[in-house]
Amino acid sequence: MTKYFADVSSFQPDNLGFFQGLVNAGVSGILIKTTQGSHDGDNYINPKSTNQARNSLAAGMNVGFYHYFLATSVADAINEAKFFEQSVVNLGFGKDTPLCVDVEDSSLNTSAVASYVDAFINCLKTQSYTNVFQYSMASWFNEGILNANKHPTWVANYGSSDCGTRGNIIGWQYTSSWGGGSQDMSYDWGIFDKQPAKTEAVTQAKVEPEKPKVENIIKLTEQTHPVDRLGIERPETYEAGSTWKSSDIVMINNEPHYQIATDIFVPISKTAFKDLIIVKYTDDSPAPVFDKNGKRVHNASVSTGKAFKTDGVRIINGIPMAKIATDQFIPFEYTSGSKFE
């Protein structure tokens, strides 16, 4: 089955209807422009990127991001990579997210840009990103300005029955006027197929490192139909391995659910946090621990970043809690994925 993905910037809409329309037309993936240049250069962040990411996820799309490249040196390229990475972190996406460097600007030094691209991609790889690739027009690869074999490559070539170049090609942008308008469209030859890196199973009550970063990112462990706030199943299906940013934890049908969009929820039991919680509390203050009767356990508290294997959900005094030890419980609102600040 042929797979398609679109790419968008601030020129495209950011409402749910736009992305739902793409999905209804058979488009399963989206690459969103987040940044351009560097913090001390253009310092450009797509003002629609947050809503575009949120609503494309809500429409059930696979989501990745791209950066418009303007580097004039290796050092500048590294600064651009860091600027781009921070935008991805701020949006709440993980290390297996598809990330692309868009190399096409006429101001680029074509005799040196390949080395700048190497520096950009290598910077992201050293930060453990696993799905990083380059984009440009076919002519830049054919003329030797860029190397389509050195990095996974998404290539632009319009009005042809062929992608126009050879190498490690993982996507072909074949038109800039899809649907009769000005929307780019591409064939996906592996960009959104890449499987996330496996994580080691938790074998102890306290998971190392001792203070993991709390990012509110959850990962589905099985194919899942989300539900609305009333527990009614929605028609879309989210794939195992897909990652989402949670804004709250809500009890639905006596089970805690992560809220991943307006009135869209997935059960904790179908995520990597089924048997694990990471404590999320204010600043460096320790989170309180309670017993089975809902009373505060004196001399028992845990700091933000601590991770625990859990033994199911308990409703204590009307509050859903995770069991972390014999007669010790932490409210789910004090764990990663909640809105508690």
User: Strand pairing of 132-137 and 99-102?
Assistant: parallel
Average model confidence (pLDDT) across the chain: 86
Task: Tell me the three state secondary structure of residue 234.
Answer: coil
Determine if the peptide bond prior to 226 is cis (ω within 30°): no
Q: Which residue, 179, 217, 257, 261, is CA-closest to 94?
A: 217
What pLDDT is recorded for position 14? 94
Q: Residue 137's closest CA among 172, 167, 113? A: 172
pLDDT, tens digit, 9 for 90 and up, residues 273-323: 877 777 876 655 677 888 888 888 766 667 776 777 787 788 888 888 888
Please report the pLDDT score of residue 85 as a whole number: 95
In angstroms, the CA 101 to CA 108 distance is: 13
Which residues make Cβ contacts (< 8 Å) with residue 68, sequence separation at least 6?
A: 33, 35, 36, 37, 44, 102, 105
pLDDT of 282: 62
CATH of domain 4-188: 3.20.20.80
Stated pTM of the model: 0.59
161 vs 2: CA distance, rounded Å: 15
Q: Is-contact 80 120, C-beta < 8 A?
A: yes
Residues of the chain with pLDDT under 50: 195-213
Q: Which two tokens stand for residue 58?
A: 């809500």
Q: What is the DSSP string of 290-335?
A: E-TTS-EEEEEEE-TT-EEE---EEEETTEEEEEEETTEEEEGGGB
What sign results for the dihedral spanned by CA atoms 267, 261, 221, 290? negative
> What confidence score (pLDDT) does residue 138 get?
96
pLDDT tens string 184-230:
999 999 999 854 333 333 333 333 333 334 567 788 889 999 999 99
pLDDT at site 48: 95
Residues found in the chain: 341
Contacts of 122 by beta carbon, 8 Å cutoff, 6+ apart: none
Q: Structure tokens of 38? A: 């560097």
pLDDT of res. 109: 97
Q: What is the rounded CA–CA span in Å between residue 270 and residue 111?
A: 50
Q: What is the pLDDT of residue 279?
A: 80
CA distance 27 to 271: 25
pLDDT of 271 reads 87
Instruction: Look up tokens 């809220």; give the residue.
Output: 259
Q: Where are the domains of the chain?
A: 4-188, 217-334
Torsion of CA 77, 81, 87, 93, to 10 degrees: 160
In this prediction, residue 205 carries a pLDDT of 34
